[in-house]
A and B are shown apart, each in its own frame.
Chain A
Amino acid sequence: MEYYFVLGKGGVGKSTISILKAIALSQQGKKVSLISLDHAHNLFDILGPNKGSLPRTLKIFEPDIEKFIKHYLQSSEQLLQKNYRYLTALNLEHHFKILKQAPGLEEYGLLLAFRHFWENRARKSEVLIFDMPPTAIALKFFSLPFVSLVWIEQLLKIRTEILQKKEIISKIKFGKAEIETDAIKKNLEQQLIFYQTMAQLLKSKHQCKIVLVANPDSVSLAESNRIKQRLFDLGIEIGEFYLNKYQKKMPGLNVSRVFKGNVRKIPQAAGGLVGVEALSLFLNECSAELI
């Protein structure tokens, strides 16, 4: 199973590169699922109305991220009502408009969408390509598992200490240790497993490739460098680097600062790249770079 996360500065051509890569890989016979995690989906806009000529092994999804957040708040509300029986008036959905703006919830919505496709499409596909949202929210998405792990590990330490002391108290008072099932510790352990699995996946160079797309200009490359640094701090490396809208006559740009490996150059398209036909024709020129 291969995972690709396509990210870069806004407007560099992430969605176009994602589609071209998805078509190129599915033309090789691989079962590919292309998923847009950008709120401002535009995969279907780029493909145009005639999607019939796309390879049959390619499936494209533009999930509604807000629906994932809403569903999550609904299940949290049900659990809270079940455990806090006197909270009969609790209605989180009613306050959805405010709650969805809560710090951390937007990137969690992306994580829920990712998890949904990770769990449901992994059996039906060989390749999952995620067209990521703009840099800020994409970096928050990547940071979330690592930040959560730091908190969960510390909370688990405190919880374990509490339970150990409770065991000692019960040994002294009752002559035997009464080991109680702690729902909080169980919850933390479940969350730990999920975030550890996700962190391992993101760091795994064999399974997961971070695809960084930039344009041949200093602003785009500077932002790409910042993305690279931020991911490096999390222990994630860039797997592939695309210089999109490349032209042969260009001022000297220091690309090696961003990526030391093979820089894949995608030429500037002569006309607009909208519609499956235009994309397929363009793919003939650069399919080798995309595989």
Chain B
Amino acid sequence: MKKWFKKQYQLWGEFFRSRATSNLEWEVAELENIFTLLTTGFIIGLPSPPIPVALDLLPEMETNLILMLQRIETAHGPLSQLFSSFDVG
């Protein structure tokens, strides 16, 4: 019985912790996208830092560029992603 309660406690704890962090994780993802856009936006004509600042950062930006490419896949449905983040519908 004790083990069962402990397992239930752990499962519910994990569930609520992930609910608590989902908005934060969405914010972090958006901030990463903004950061990537600011540093590599020159590729699509956005104002950007001096080329040396951007080029110096580029070797460390692999994860960010991959995330940006993944973001492009959801670009057609930004509202659906927003609703999903705020658990609407």
A contacts, CB < 8 Å to B: 72, 76, 79-80, 82-84, 102-105, 108, 111, 144, 147-148, 151-152, 154-155, 158-159, 161-162, 165-166, 168-169, 172-173, 183-184, 187-188, 191
Contact = CB atoms under 8 A, between A and B. Distances in A.
A151 B53 contact: yes
B51 A172 contact: no
Given A104-B52, A158-B38, A159-B35, 9 more contacts: A79-B59, A102-B51, A104-B51, A111-B52, A152-B49, A158-B35, A162-B32, A184-B35, A191-B53
Nearest to A174: B17
Given A76-B55, A184-B60, A187-B56, A169 B24 contact: yes
29 contacts: A76-B55, A76-B59, A80-B58, A80-B59, A82-B59, A84-B59, A102-B51, A104-B51, A111-B52, A144-B52, A147-B50, A148-B50, A148-B52, A151-B50, A151-B53, A154-B38, A155-B35, A155-B53, A158-B35, A159-B35, A162-B28, A165-B24, A165-B31, A169-B24, A184-B61, A184-B64, A187-B56, A187-B60, A191-B53
Nearest to A105: B51
Given A155-B38, A169-B24, A169-B28, A188 B57 contact: yes
B21 A148 contact: no
A154 B51 CA distance: 16
B53 to A, nearest CB: 5
Most B CB atoms within 10 A — which of A76, A108, A162? A162
A166 B35 CA distance: 15
Given A76-B59, A79-B59, A187-B60, A165 B53 contact: no
A12 B64 CA distance: 49
Interface string B57-80: 111111010000000000000000
B8 interface: no
